[in-house]
Amino acid sequence: MAGFLDTLGLPTEKVVVEFSQRRFVLKSLQETLEILPYEDRAKALYLSKFSVAIAVGLFDAALNFLWDETILALRRLAVSVDLSYFFDTAEKRESYRARLQSEEDLRLLDDNTLIDTCARIDLLTDVNRERLRNVNYMRNHASAAHPNASELLGSEMVSWLANCLRYAITAKPEWAVIQTKQLLTNIRTTLIPQQDISVIAIDLQKFSTERVDDLLWTLFGLYVDPSQKAECRTNIGNLAPHVWKLGSEDRKLQVGARHEHFIKQGDQNRKTFADEFLIVVGGQQYRSEDVLAGELLDKLRSLNAAHNGLNNFYNEGPHAQALYQSLPKTGIIPRAAITEWVKVIVKCHLGNGLGYQDGVDQTADKAYQWYIGQFGESEIAIFLRQFGDPDFTVDLDNRKPHKRAVALATGFKSKTTNVYILRALESIIAQPEGTMRRIATVTKFKEAVTNITLR
């Protein structure tokens, strides 16, 4: 083959991986494939393509084949749960969510969003999410999907194959996820007896706060959907008060902000149903005082999507600057948006640690620095709470985000006299590089944050 390429005047150097690396992967292949049941191998065309690409030394093509199948597998996992629930969890921007209706629409979700949503609804653990995010990063920067000059090792290929097989391609949803799907199916199709509602409500107490919040968001979305049957709304009306009691303050405020969004859009049907829902759950006081809250949340989610997507260094700027237009004249961020405001702005300011210029979109960072400059003690307290959120800390073990987090904490010290906030900030400053993601488990930091009262 090398001789044939040479006769055509084509390069042969750095085209294929050396033989020893290919041999390592092929010798490890049989043991690695033990993860995949034998009866499923006859349909595994991607593995045949992967193996052929490995054999001829095209590791970058092999990685591309493997990742394409991994994404298909994650989409199959998504279909195994309630699609409306999955889409509600993945996308909370009104205009974007309206486009997500069927299984085919899963392709509209970028790879990172698909992975993160699977983790959010417990189809993946946080650790396994990071394993797949790593494969996705290498696929985007070292596979045949994009031009590159990166070298891939046989040991890496075997590790990525094992992770994709174990945590995506052969993964099965846990019983709790299947239960949620069955519950939502019954809510839509069957009038649930009142005595069963109390049993379901007891079971909901076992859910994490995140899962309760996602379920509350989906129930609200179903209730305000004009196409739903009366039986569906009756079921939600009976169950929603129990879910509401277990939901977080932030999610309740966001439901109120969505109610105001319907008013602003002139969507009378959904506005009427939203009124009914808030009355049923006893949440009338959560109606947003400012119609800009829903708009601000939408823009924050668009900024976060741009930050997590490809070419974020080129895409974040317009989203960051657009936030100015949704800020109230008072400069006070609506309570419904304050937590997401702090989380998204700071996360984008800290960056992902990749690329150049400190791993941050420099144009957008001018806006981030201005927003952060307006932070008071309450915003700093919310900032400290984010270190327990894997979505916020995902990149903080990288050197550049770690350094920027320390600088931010140092600057915040001059803005507060609260002893607990100061202790937590000192913990961040003292945290060793490469361990920032685990600071929420450090006793000194954990105790300090626990004693901080949010206003």
What does the radius of gyration of the chain's CA atoms come to, in whole angstroms? 24
Give the pLDDT confidence of 137-157 residue by residue, as tens digits.
Answer: 999 888 776 666 678 899 999
- pLDDT for 77 equals 93
Percentage of residues of the chain with pLDDT beyond 70: 97
* Closest to 206 (Cα-Cα) out of 237, 233, 180, 236: 180
Tell me if residue 214 falls in helix, strand or coil.
helix
The rounded distance, in Å, linking the Cα atoms of 430 and 410 is: 10
Please state, rounded to an integer, the average pLDDT across all residues of the chain: 90
Tell me if residue 143 falls in helix, strand or coil.
coil
More confident residue, 354 or 53: 53
Torsion of CA 116, 120, 126, 128, to 10 degrees: -60
Say if residues 257 and 287 touch (Cβ distance below 8 Å). no
Say if residues 55 and 29 touch (Cβ distance below 8 Å). no
Say if residues 177 and 122 touch (Cβ distance below 8 Å). yes
Task: State the DSSP string of 244-258.
Answer: HHHS-HHHHHHHHHH
Distance of CA 433 to the CA centre of its chain: 24
CA end-to-end span of the chain = 70
- pLDDT for 291 equals 64
Say if residues 349 and 404 touch (Cβ distance below 8 Å). yes
Task: Tell me the pLDDT band of 435, cut-offs 50, 70 and 90.
Answer: very high
- pLDDT for 266 equals 87
**pLDDT, mean of residues 242-256:** 92
Give the pLDDT confidence of 23-59 residue by residue, as tens digits.
Answer: 999 999 989 999 998 888 888 899 999 999 999 888 9
Task: Tell me the pLDDT band of 409, cut-offs 50, 70 and 90.
Answer: very high
pLDDT at 287 over 90: no
For residue 131, how many other CB atoms are within 10 A of its CB? Answer: 20
- pLDDT for 105 equals 96
Give the pLDDT confidence of 358-393 residue by residue, as tens digits.
Answer: 778 888 999 999 999 999 999 999 999 999 999 999
Task: Tell me the pLDDT band of 175, cut-offs 50, 70 and 90.
Answer: confident
Which H or E element spans position 372? Answer: helix 362-373
Task: State the DSSP string of 373-422.
Answer: HT--HHHHHHHHHGGG-HHHHTTTTSHHHHHHHHHHHHHHGGG---HHHH
Kindly provide the b/e burial profile for residues 359-383, where b requires at least 16 CB atoms within 10 angstroms of the residue's own CB: bbbeebbebbeebbeebebbbbbbb
pLDDT at 314 over 80: no
The rounded distance, in Å, linking the Cα atoms of 144 and 127 is: 26
Task: Tell me the pLDDT band of 455, cut-offs 50, 70 and 90.
Answer: low
Residues 6+ apart with CB under 8 A from 414: none
Kindly provide the b/e burial profile for residues 227-255, where b requires at least 16 CB atoms within 10 angstroms of the residue's own CB: ebeeebbebbbbbbebbbebbeebbbbbb
The rounded distance, in Å, linking the Cα atoms of 255 and 248 is: 11
Max avg pLDDT among 148-162, 172-186, 410-424: 410-424
Give the pLDDT confidence of 195-245 residue by residue, as tens digits.
Answer: 999 999 999 998 889 899 999 999 999 999 999 999 999 999 999 999 999
Give the pLDDT confidence of 159-169 residue by residue, as tens digits.
Answer: 999 999 999 99
pLDDT at 406 over 80: yes
pTM of the model: 0.76
pLDDT at 404 over 90: yes
The rounded distance, in Å, linking the Cα atoms of 98 and 298 is: 13
Tokens for 439, please give them. 């600071």
- pLDDT for 417 equals 94
- pLDDT for 387 equals 96
Say if residues 160 and 66 touch (Cβ distance below 8 Å). yes
pLDDT at 303 over 80: yes
Residues 6+ apart with CB under 8 A from 415: 375, 376, 377, 380
Which H or E element spans position 332? Answer: none
More confident residue, 351 or 331: 351
- pLDDT for 374 equals 94
The rounded distance, in Å, linking the Cα atoms of 214 and 340 is: 15
pLDDT at 189 over 80: yes
pLDDT at 110 over 90: yes
- pLDDT for 289 equals 65
